[in-house]
Chains A and B, each alone.
Chain A
Amino acid sequence: MFLDFLQYCGRLAIFAGVAVYHCLRPPIYFRLIGTQMLEIGYFSLPVVGLTAIFTGMVLALQSHTGFARFSAEGAVATVVVISMTRELGPVLAGLMVAGRIGAAMAAEIGTMRVTEQIDALTTLSTNPFKYLVAPRLIAGLAMLPFLVLVADIIGVFGGFLVGAYQLGYNPATYIHSSWDYLKPMDVVSGLVKAAVFGFLISLLGCFNGYHSRGGAQGVGQATTNAVVSASILILTTNYILTALFFNK
């Protein structure tokens, strides 16, 4: 069991190393990177946006009821903006994209594996790492920060809506206290996390798909593994990155 786990980690690390190597060496397929960026970035906007707005809203509501107990309602705006940019933006966007994109990658590459399309790529003098894996890794790495930035803005806006229209804060004061206590590092750390999560989502989607075997059931298993392992890794690395950023 433990040995299996170590073997899995080793294979994943080698896969990641080879994949990164192929990201840097020509030929680079810009068209495919573009397609993947559109798929990961643009088409995930609705899902990520909805997640963000409701998270921001609930955050404002909860912190208001909590802080009201010791008359600290003034901190609601700050709490919303800091939690959103530092933690909830990247983590929730990451988890949603893992479900949407990681699963799709594993299923697509897995099907290509079991129908011998990956072997066919090789026989047509095309390296599957360059053609399939590298564009997805690059697109994941580039697009998640963009999605998280959008999620941050929408989430803070959700908090503002609830704060100003339901809880009766003064809109101008709310915006001021959101803005005044926000440090660039809060946003930047969130975006760096997002880039790491984007890389991990693509990596695990591709890895599980690439190594799937045994027909429809195998592809299903690969899809599940891709989503579960990506989600766990997102939560784990989130802690590690937070500790690195703010533990001074």
Chain B
Amino acid sequence: MTRQPKIQLIDIHKSFGHKKVLDGVTVDIGTGESFVIIGGSGSGKSVTLKCILGLMRPERGSILVDGREVVGVPARQREEVMKKFGMLFQGSALFDSLPVWENVAFGLMQGRHMDRRTARRKALEKLAQVGLGKDVAELSPSELSGGMQKRVALARAIAAEPEILFFDEPTTGLDPIMADVINDLIVKCVRELGATAVSITHDMHSARKISDRMAMLYHGKLVWVGPTADVDQADNPYVDQFIHGRADGPIKMEIRH
């Protein structure tokens, strides 16, 4: 590969107590591609994301963003790296003490020291981009429905025009139509920004729609990586079981009979 990958994970290990969550994850994510990690609950998807974001520190392995190591860098440099990132959290994680527009403008005002008036105009622009009008700008996040909260959270994630976007289960907890609206918005936003996107999901419909390339995580290991178009001919029993949603197969859920 001649082009520098945007994000490189090299042999990442992470455990909690005796439980090994990530067991040697290695993958390259190219600039401008939309990469989706699929896998069941508890397979280590969220932990992978949190390790890249620096919210958790892996015990072993290195993570390179634009070719530079980000594991264990000092706080100040970490904040510089953070400016490249935007993240959509599973539960939206909006600040409930602030009105909607301040939520969207938060990264601009705090991280980039933009003045309130410019930040507000920018926030309204971003809200319009996700299909929300001026009328919601002054509301508090708790007054919005789940789908609207998700859209506000998306607006917040793209507000600072990051180079890399992370999506944590973007469609969980939404009705199928709203889920599709969010999928469309994600595709649109990522394309408009020209950003690299890393998503984790167990929603196959969503995964197919937003990804260029997919990887399947099982028991802390990537068992399959390939282009989205190949996922149906993956010839991998894990992937096969997962995309068809079958209870029996090589993936054993930890249920006692």
Interface residues of B (CB under 8 A from A): 50, 53-55, 75, 79, 82-83, 85-87, 89-91, 93-96, 106-107, 110-112, 156, 160, 166
Contact = CB atoms under 8 A, between A and B. Distances in A.
Contacts of B111: 124-126
Contact of B93 (A116, A125, A127): A116
B218 to A, nearest CB: 24
A126 B54 CA distance: 13
Given A116-B90, A120-B89, A125 B95 contact: no
Contacts of B166: 123
A125 B91 contact: no
Interface of A: 112, 115-117, 119-120, 122-127, 131
B93 A120 contact: yes
Contacts of A123: 53, 82, 85-87, 166
Given A122-B55, A125-B79, A127-B79, A115 B91 contact: yes
Given A125-B111, A127-B75, A116 B82 contact: no
14 contacts: A112-B95, A115-B93, A116-B89, A116-B93, A117-B95, A120-B87, A120-B93, A122-B54, A122-B55, A123-B166, A124-B110, A125-B82, A126-B111, A127-B79
**10 shortest A-B CB distances, which residue pairs?**
A125-B111, A124-B107, A116-B93, A120-B93, A123-B87, A126-B110, A116-B89, A125-B82, A117-B93, A124-B106
Given A122-B54, A127-B75, A127-B79, 16 more contacts: A112-B95, A117-B93, A120-B87, A120-B95, A122-B55, A122-B82, A123-B82, A123-B85, A123-B166, A124-B82, A124-B156, A125-B107, A125-B110, A126-B106, A126-B110, A126-B111
